[in-house]
Amino acid sequence: MIEINNHPIINDKDHSMPSVFTPENLLREARRQKSIPEGPVPGICILDPDGDIVQNLIASGQAKINPHWACYHTQMYNFTYKGLEFGIVGNAVGASFAVLVAEEMFACGCNLLVSMTSAGQIVSKGTPPYFVLIEKALRDEGTSYHYQPPSKFSVINPQLLEALKNMLDESQPPIFLGATWTTDAPFRETETAIEDRRSQGILGVEMEASALYAFARAKEKPVVCFAHITNQMGNVENDFEKGEAQGSRDAIEVIYKTAEACQLFIN
């Protein structure tokens, strides 16, 4: 019988030790094997787990493939919005995939990362869709425990949050501030678990934020995570509707305002 205190996900980890396997080395070999020239990515990068923002940018002719992005698993696209250049990677779903790509982005010159993931509603702030700036995320996934010691939540950098507060007051579309639940297993969202999260005032469930915030704290990198509350976990008819252009236009506006508010962290 396995002892309760003998789980490898939380035990036998020295979080202060550097990793032997690094994103810089992985990218070096990918460039060599795929003949990709060295070069930077935009200073502001976006994770788009659903891929809807990327698809809309490609369909409207606004996105171009970044020729220097050497990730084995994804493509990065560059686009400009209101004078700011962004790099965006779509379809990196889940904590481990999102953090892998985030590590590579910062290794390539990213200075600010914004994640915009769709999420299921737990405590209602209205009829979806709407946005939540994730202040803290419940650590119900595995990746965060490789970056930070066990704790209940991963939290946004307080300085970033302070920089974003004025944006929250003025934003259209509206943005709420609150907590989410990050899970590795979306099809194990049981009634008991949902009621427990609801009792804690958690606004939504998603799959990346707690790991991204743990990575951000461990590596001292500026990361901002948003939940686009788009559904009630399929429990109503016509669920998962994001709005015009699959919500991508509103999402880009939120990301742009975030980048504007966080200029001190970009340079």
For residue range 205-239, what is the model confidence (pLDDT) as tens digits?
A: 999 999 999 999 999 999 999 999 987 665 555 55
Is the residue at 105 inside a domain? Answer: yes
Q: How confident is the model at residue 177 (pLDDT cuts 50, 70, 90)?
A: very high
- Name residue 81's beta-bridge partners: 84
Half-sphere exposure of 105 (CA within 13 A, CB side): 36
What ranges make up the beta strands (E) of 129-241?
Answer: 130-140, 153-155, 175-183, 204-206, 223-231
Q: pLDDT: is 192 or 171 the higher one?
A: 192
Q: pLDDT: is 163 or 247 the higher one?
A: 163
Average pLDDT estimate for 26-52? 96
Q: Over 50: is that where the pLDDT of 161 sits?
A: yes
Q: Which structural domain, as residue segments, surrounds residue 113?
A: 42-266
Q: Is the separation of the CB atoms in 126 and 174 below 8 Å?
A: no
Give the model's pLDDT for residue 106: 98
CA–CA gap between residue 135 and residue 161 (Å, rounded): 8
Is the residue at 261 inside a domain? Answer: yes
Q: How many domains does the chain have?
A: 1
Give the model's pLDDT for residue 241: 61
Is the residue at 22 inside a domain? Answer: no
CATH of the domain at 78: 3.40.50.1580
> Across all residues in the chain, what is the average pLDDT?
92
Is the residue at 17 inside a domain? Answer: no
**Within its chain, how far is the Cα of 99 from the centroid?**
8
**Angular region, 40: left φ>0, alpha ψ -120 to 50, beta rest:** beta
CA–CA gap between residue 184 and residue 207 (Å, rounded): 6
Query: pTM for the full model?
Result: 0.94
Average pLDDT estimate for 98-112? 98
First to last CA, the chain: 53
Q: How confident is the model at residue 53 (pLDDT cuts 50, 70, 90)?
A: very high
Average pLDDT estimate for 251-261? 95
- Name residue 208's beta-bridge partners: none
Q: pLDDT: is 44 or 247 the higher one?
A: 44
For residue range 9-28, what is the model confidence (pLDDT) as tens digits?
A: 888 899 999 999 999 999 99
Half-sphere exposure of 157 (CA within 13 A, CB side): 20
CA–CA gap between residue 266 and residue 260 (Å, rounded): 10
Q: In terms of DSSP H, where are the helices of the chain?
A: 23-34, 52-59, 95-107, 158-170, 191-199, 209-219, 248-261, 263-266
Token pair recorded at residue 85: 């250049």
Which SS3 state, helix, strand or coil, does residue 143 take? helix
Give the model's pLDDT for residue 3: 57
Residues 6 or more apart in contact with residue 251 via CB below 8 angstroms:
52, 53, 116, 131, 226, 228
Is the residue at 23 inside a domain? Answer: no
Is the residue at 57 inside a domain? Answer: yes
Average pLDDT estimate for 112-116? 98
Half-sphere exposure of 266 (CA within 13 A, CB side): 19
Is the residue at 36 inside a domain? Answer: no
Give the model's pLDDT for residue 97: 98
Q: DSSP class of residue 21?
A: S
For residue range 66-95, what is the model confidence (pLDDT) as tens digits?
A: 999 999 999 999 999 999 999 999 999 999
Is the residue at 110 inside a domain? Answer: yes
Give the model's pLDDT for residue 45: 98
